[in-house]
Amino acid sequence: MNKSITVTALLVLTVNTVLAAGRVEESRNWTDSFPVAADKPTLKIENIWGDVSVRSGKTGVIVVSVQERRSAPDQARFERSLETLRLNTEVDKNGVYLHVGEHDRDWHGRDNCRGCRVDYRFDVLVPAAAQIDVSTVNDGRIDITGITGQVSAANVNGPIAVTGLRIRIQKIN
């Protein structure tokens, strides 16, 4: 790895780990910028625990700030959570795709990490014309502001707030 890239990554990444009576907790914060060439770039986020905030930003770039909080009852389960409940990022010139866990999203029965929790809080700036598809499941809210492109938002047990959007409601069977 290029040393200048390593140094830059260390400057934007903050990590705090706490070991209390066997319980392991860690928090990390980072920001990444992704150049996009499409006139209407795509942002897709599939989250499990935590908030998703999307706001209009500059043309030609998607800026993603992430706050990650991870906890487990012990070190072994903490390590397991790192394998099964991680943030995966896919990027191309047309957009950014962020998803927590595996592509098939069957994290319920496979991770065997009882008592583990991983909260991801996303704060994302996108070009106003971006196409947005975001979701979260537990203990999170979705806030979307100032987007003129198509927006899809899904939340299982939290609120969705939209501001300054042209809204088209579609019934899903």
Residue 39 pLDDT more than 80?
yes
- pLDDT at residue 112 tops 90: no
Rounded to two decimals, the pTM is: 0.79
pLDDT reading at 5 higher than 50: no
Q: Is the pLDDT of residue 58 over 70?
A: yes
Local confidence band at 103 (pLDDT 50, 70, 90 cut-offs): low
Residue with tokens 């030609």: 60
What are the phi and psi torsion angles at 78 (to 5°)?
-60, -45
CA 155, 143, 119, 90 dihedral sign is positive
Tokens representing 101? 């866990």
CB of 25 closer than 8 Å to CB of 17: yes
Q: How much is the mean pLDDT over the chain? A: 83
**Residue 66 pLDDT:** 97
